[in-house]
Amino acid sequence: MTALKYASHRLKKDPTLAFKAIERNGYIMQYVDDELRNDRDFALRVLAGDSGFDAFPYVGEQLRDDVEIFLACPQNIGRSATIPTKDISVAA
């Protein structure tokens, strides 16, 4: 449980406070304001940290489809040698 879950809307919108909380526990990303969860620069900063992998599911839905956002998580680098794209064809 986190205090941010019960914090005021004003505090949930504070990028400095939210970032410090997420640094300690990536799951806290689910409690920050939607505006921050959908902010690309904020998401890149969060995901690059040690708690980035835990925060990733709570990043805005459109951002989760962004290759740069995905690769911002250090835990994702090396898990896959390639990033699948729609134009990959499988030889028969």
Task: Please check whether residue 12 lies inside any domain of the structure.
Answer: yes
Range of the domain at 21: 3-72
Task: Please check whether residue 79 lies inside any domain of the structure.
Answer: no
Contact 37, 58 (CB under 8 A): yes
Task: Please check whether residue 80 lies inside any domain of the structure.
Answer: no
Task: Please check whether residue 77 lies inside any domain of the structure.
Answer: no
Task: Give per-residue pLDDT as tens, 3-48.
Answer: 889 999 999 999 999 999 999 999 999 999 999 999 999 999 999 8
Task: Please check whether residue 89 lies inside any domain of the structure.
Answer: no
Task: Please check whether residue 8 lies inside any domain of the structure.
Answer: yes
Domains in the chain: how many in total?
A: 1
Query: Could you tell me the CA-to-CA distances from 18 to 81, 82, 91 in Å, in that order?
Result: 32, 32, 47
pLDDT at 57: 92
Instruction: Specify the higher pLDDT residue, 68 or 77.
Output: 68
pLDDT at 81: 38
Which CB contacts under 8 angstroms, 24+ apart, belong to 5-8?
A: 5/31, 7/31
pLDDT over 60 at 82, yes or no: no
Task: Please check whether residue 91 lies inside any domain of the structure.
Answer: no
